[in-house]
Structure 1
Amino acid sequence: MTDTAEYSRRYDPDAQHAFPDDRLNEILPELTSDPEVRTLLDAQNVNAVVRKRYNDHGPKHIEIVRNQALRLYDLLKAAGIEFNGAQDQGLEEEDEAVIIALAATLHDIGHIVHRDDHSYYSIPLAGSFLDRFLPQFYETEAAVRVKAEVLHAILCHHTEEEPLTREAGVIRVADGLDMERGRSRIPYESGGRGINTISSQAIDQVTLKPGTDAAVLVEIEMVNAAGVYQVDNLLKAKLERSLIEDEVRIIAINTKAEDPLVERIEL
């Protein structure tokens, strides 16, 4: 497995992975270039950022969540962690990564309806898209089962619903891992000073690595104690009851010595 800094942040289809990746690498280019998907991802930022002045939920957020989800999945598979979503449906192991990539891409499209309760609005929108998209790659029965798992993962990316699969848990945690300061640039520059915006501005970098006492080590660099909100409130809530909480260790370090209020957090 490639161990470069870039690979720790981005899914590389040409790299060696700890999972069968041929089907994912076939589907992913078609997914990311689909005109409906591209428009949905752009449109979902209107309610989130333009109207609600919330953190980015558009194409860049989706790209980061998808990369983090696939990287997280890869590290878990490398550590021998078994996934149950595709397996329970009688699907193939190679479908696990497909489910994760699809759910990561579509999890926030409900924002085009409203920011509030958007995960519930995402379900019919994603279902409609998947009905059109999946038959290119799957026979009817397999397409229905992949769709079921994708919708479950989308629904459970928020903490109100309990993930029943590790695929869904990966989406839930990966969504919480998009916390770097670039995510809050638009609302911050337009005057937004809510806790989500300020705390995100305090996070410099998030890196995923193989762990020693857990399958995955998440390293978070903070430049201000405000970043504690992102780590101890938002990410901690995502990790709890994710079905992968015992496999992920999180260490957040405040790199600014002149701001000693919070120096280190471990989850």
Structure 2
Amino acid sequence: MKSQKEHSVSKQLLGLLEKGSDSYRLAQMLLEDEEIEALQEYGNTVSIKRLNYNDHGPVHMRQVACNGVKMLSLLREAEVPTSIVNENSGTYEDSLCALLLASFVHDLGMSVSRTEHELTGLIIARPIMDRILKALFPEEMGRRIAIISVATEGVLGHMASRKVYSIEAGLLLVADGCDMEKGRARIPLSITTAPKTGDIHKYSANSIEKVTISKGEEHPIMIDVSMSSDVGFFQIEEVLLPKIMMSSAKEYVEVYAGVLGQPKKRYL
């Protein structure tokens, strides 16, 4: 059964997309796909109950999609072409579709294990991505190949352990790192356990009050993070910044962070 938060983020995602567009139709398909939902749910079980990590399930992947759509929209507004567009391989809508696909499947490998879950996830996700794109674009093989290839690069590189080159894959890195508000740590914090590996992730995430993605002063994308305590800097310095530094979109991003009531630090 879908949670209220999942419904809320799903509604937010559809509200960011043009109704009736290819990306809107794809988002609807991804939101309604029972196999993706089941894999996301079990991935969350492994993450929270087995590993004591924070949310890696349906809400997280939907929030990453929202973050990515916002960022891609800001790049478009700044007239920064995506890789698919720049290489004459497709349109902005195709880039949006690739980012949506990658967002919804990037953590499916968590249903098996965290270790190299980006690789395990691709084994699981490729047939699903192929099935969905064939249903959406049945007569457009070239288009499907471009979208699924870029989405695959995003999944493969989202842990910042492998270099990515497309703008779309780079945005997934940043969008993933930006999902760190305190709600992401709510479930693991409610489970009483002895201290173990992964605790810093849930406590640092619980200190993040707000992450805002908007138009920057010097760059197209500004990420502004407000936190309730210093432990939140772990999320910035150990999770978000490494992803941005490995991102092919880093030149378009500026980052500010700080504890509420104190001056914010500019990182990028």
Per the alignment, in what secondary structure is the counterpart of residue 252 of structure 1? strand
Alignment of 1:100-179 (within 5 A): 100-138=99-137, 139-179=140-180
**Residues 14, 27 of structure 2: 8 Å contact kept:** no
Q: For residue 144 of structure 1, report the CA deviation from its aligned partner.
A: 2.5
Rounded to whole Å, the distance in 1 between the matches of 2:232 and 2:16 is 34
Rounded to whole Å, the distance in 2 between the matches of 1:23 and 1:47 is 33
Per the alignment, in what secondary structure is the counterpart of residue 214 of structure 1? coil
More divergent stretch after superposition (189-198 vs 142-151): 189-198
**Residues 17, 23 of structure 2: 8 Å contact kept:** no
Rounded to whole Å, the distance in 2 between the matches of 1:250 and 1:236 is 9
Rounded to whole Å, the distance in 1 between the matches of 2:192 and 2:239 is 22
Q: For residue 241 of structure 1, report the CA deviation from its aligned partner.
A: 2.8
Q: Which amino acid aligns with 1:212?
A: E
Q: For residue 183 of structure 1, report the CA deviation from its aligned partner.
A: 0.6
When residues 89 and 162 of structure 1 are mapped into structure 2, their CA distance, relative to the original with a 3 A threshold, is farther
Q: How many correspondences in the alignment?
A: 253
Q: For residue 77 of structure 1, report the CA deviation from its aligned partner.
A: 1.2
Rounded to whole Å, the distance in 1 between the matches of 2:80 and 2:165 is 15
Q: Which amino acid aligns with 1:160?
A: S
Per the alignment, in what secondary structure is the counterpart of residue 50 of structure 1? helix
Give the TM-score taking structure 2 as reference length: 0.88
Q: Which of 217, 223, 227 lines up with 1:212 in the alignment?
A: 217
Does residue 239 of the first structure (1) align with residue 240 of the second (2)?
no
Rounded to whole Å, the distance in 1 between the matches of 2:161 and 2:234 is 19
Q: For residue 131 of structure 1, report the CA deviation from its aligned partner.
A: 2.1
Q: Which amino acid aligns with 2:186?
A: R
When residues 89 and 32 of structure 1 are mapped into structure 2, their CA distance, relative to the original with a 3 A threshold, is farther
Q: For residue 87 of structure 1, report the CA deviation from its aligned partner.
A: 4.6
Alignment of 1:39-58 (within 5 A): 39-58=38-57
Q: Point out the structure with the larger helix share.
A: 2
Does residue 66 of the first structure (1) align with residue 94 of the second (2)?
no
Gaps (5+ residues) in structure 2? 1-7
Q: Which amino acid aligns with 1:264?
A: K
Spell out, residue by residue over 1:81-125, the C-alpha distance to the aligned partner (whole angstroms, 9 max, x if none): 111146537223320000000100110001111111101111111
Q: For residue 249 of structure 1, report the CA deviation from its aligned partner.
A: 0.9
Give the TM-score taking structure 1 as reference length: 0.88
Rounded to whole Å, the distance in 1 between the matches of 2:170 and 2:97 is 15
Rounded to whole Å, the distance in 1 between the matches of 2:59 and 2:17 is 22
**Residues 23, 97 of structure 2: 8 Å contact kept:** yes
Q: For residue 47 of structure 1, report the CA deviation from its aligned partner.
A: 1.3
Query: Paired residue for 1:97?
Result: 96
Rounded to whole Å, the distance in 2 between the matches of 1:76 and 1:234 is 23
Q: For residue 38 of structure 1, report the CA deviation from its aligned partner.
A: 1.2
Alignment of 1:181-220 (within 5 A): 181-191=182-192, 194-220=199-225
Query: Paired residue for 2:266?
Result: 266
Rounded to whole Å, the distance in 1 between the matches of 2:95 and 2:224 is 25
Q: For residue 187 of structure 1, report the CA deviation from its aligned partner.
A: 1.4
CA RMSD, aligned part only? Answer: 2.2
Per the alignment, in what secondary structure is the counterpart of residue 44 of structure 2? helix
Spell out, residue by residue over 1:10-58, the C-alpha distance to the aligned partner (whole angstroms, 9 max, x if none): 44547679xxx82101211111101111111111112111100100001
Q: For residue 205 of structure 1, report the CA deviation from its aligned partner.
A: 0.6
Rounded to whole Å, the distance in 2 between the matches of 1:234 and 1:46 is 21
Rounded to whole Å, the distance in 1 between the matches of 2:130 and 2:214 is 36
When residues 89 and 148 of structure 1 are mapped into structure 2, their CA distance, relative to the original with a 3 A threshold, is farther
Per the alignment, in what secondary structure is the counterpart of residue 204 of structure 1? strand
Query: Paired residue for 2:32?
Result: 33
Q: Which amino acid aligns with 1:101?
A: L
**Residues 209, 227 of structure 2: 8 Å contact kept:** yes
Q: For residue 141 of structure 1, report the CA deviation from its aligned partner.
A: 2.9
Question: What percentage of aligned pairs have identical amino acids?
Answer: 25
Rounded to whole Å, the distance in 2 between the matches of 1:15 and 1:166 is 19
Runs of 4+ in 1 over 4 A off after TM superposition: 14-17
**Residues 48, 111 of structure 1: 8 Å contact kept:** yes
Gaps (5+ residues) in structure 1? 1-5, 258-262
